Amino acid sequence: MKKMTLILEGHLIDSGILSNVLNFIVGENLDYHIDKIDVGKTRVETTRAEITIYAENDKSLELVLSKVSPLGAYEKGGVNAVFEYSSKDAHAPEGFYSSTNHRTEVYADSKWNAVSQQRMDAVVIKTPEGFVCTKIRDIKKGDPILCGSESVRVYPPAAEKKDDGFAFMTNEVSSERSYDITVDTIAHELRQIRADGGRCIVVCGPVVIHTGGAPALSAMIREGFIQGFLGGNAVAVHDLESFYYGTSLGVDMKSGKPTHGGHNHHMRAINRINGFGSIKAAIQAGDLNNGLMYQIEKSGIPYCLAGSIRDDGPLPETVNDMIEAQAQYSQIIKGADMILMLSSMLHSIGTGNMTPSWVKTVCIDINPAVVTKLADRGTGQAIGIVSDVGLFLNALAVRLELDLS
């Protein structure tokens, strides 16, 4: 009979982590014994458990360890990391460790070492500077790649639950959550982030333009509440259409009625920008002097418009190389304290895949399934607010006392 002792630390009981670990063990038809458990008695105290698992062979133990390690379980005593060298570019050894988006440490040189550039679906490479998450496509021949999960310790957000003003907003999706309290909480966070010199990044879809939320978002950028902008070609196109023609998707922004010939307004907006060569050039020429893209350019915050197969035009600023767009997105969200995802499911999922799980993430969408999809794809920290995004942004602007005139 083989055995392995696991350690679990954190808010294990109220988060459900302990029961989930035990369920994984039982699900593999293995036996276990809880050797020791020290239960935290207050909201801030953590729980520590030692659990010995029994199996017929080492393979069964390795399998269950690979399943429970993303929940924060690690082998007692620390097993030194095993690294294998890549035999070619963009190729990892067969047993490579695939990372989560949770804070991670690797046991090597008889100590726990932090992993940097944390993101999901990456490998961990040992470098002279430390341990780094790296996409498979960025592996170089000869890179030492971490293999197996025996030497890995992760810290899920649920295990590290913090007792702060944001904590009441669980990641459950509900249209019944108090709207006023939610908006007040996010406004408080934005003020605090700005005061601390932090970074809030917006992921924005064209619905923000259609629903009349652009002036509020523009004001947030102007007043320094937003430090980065991520979107696609469409949000910029319809913002420009709104400025030049007073429509979005051909619908009059004031009356809400379709306009004659309005279906081609977005194409005319693209063509007009192409005539100048770029959005920035149109601003410099005095042709564009208001709107969301105008404010983004004027404020100088970094932004990326990621292209897609659906794009008309696209605009000169749109990044059509998907690898390059991913790299720019990843660079912009570095060091983010909060990400606001505004009615853009695909861009939100893409951003979530490269965002560490400790970053406060709020997704505002009229469709509750969007946040469910985010969670299904690994962004379990996302808080869902079921709301018309235009109404939400305007309510947030009021709480932030912004001038929208």
pLDDT greater at residue 166 or residue 180:
180
Count the Cβ atoms, other than its own, within 10 Å of residue 264. 12
Give ranges for CATH 3.30.70.2690 in the chain.
Answer: 1-76
Mean pLDDT of 230-240: 97
Instruction: Specify the domain boundaries for CATH 3.40.50.10690 within the chain.
Output: 179-399
Express each pLDDT in 88-107 by its tens digit.
999 999 999 999 999 999 99
Give tens-digit pLDDT for 332-382.
Answer: 999 999 999 999 999 999 999 999 999 999 999 998 888 788 777 777 788
Query: How confident is the model at residue 164, as a pLDDT?
Result: 58
Which residues have a Cβ under 8 Å from the Cβ of 271 and sit 6 or more positions away?
none
pLDDT at 373: 80
pLDDT(124) > 60: yes
**Would the pLDDT of 265 be above 60?**
yes
Topology of 78-160 in CATH?
A: 2.40.420
Percent of the chain whose predicted confidence (pLDDT) is above 70: 95
Model pTM above 0.75: yes
**Domain 1-76, CATH class in plain words:** alpha beta
In the chain, list all ranges with CATH 2.40.420.10. 78-160
pLDDT tens for each residue of 298-310: 999 999 999 999 8
State the pLDDT at residue 178: 63
Residue 348, CA distances (Å) to 198, 200, 262, 335, 376 in order = 21, 14, 29, 17, 13
The yes-or-no verdict on residue 16 having pLDDT over 90 is no
Structural domain 179-399, CATH architecture: 3-Layer(aba) Sandwich (3.40)
pLDDT bin (cut points 50, 70, 90) of residue 168 is very low
Report, as an integer, the average pLDDT of 119-128. 96
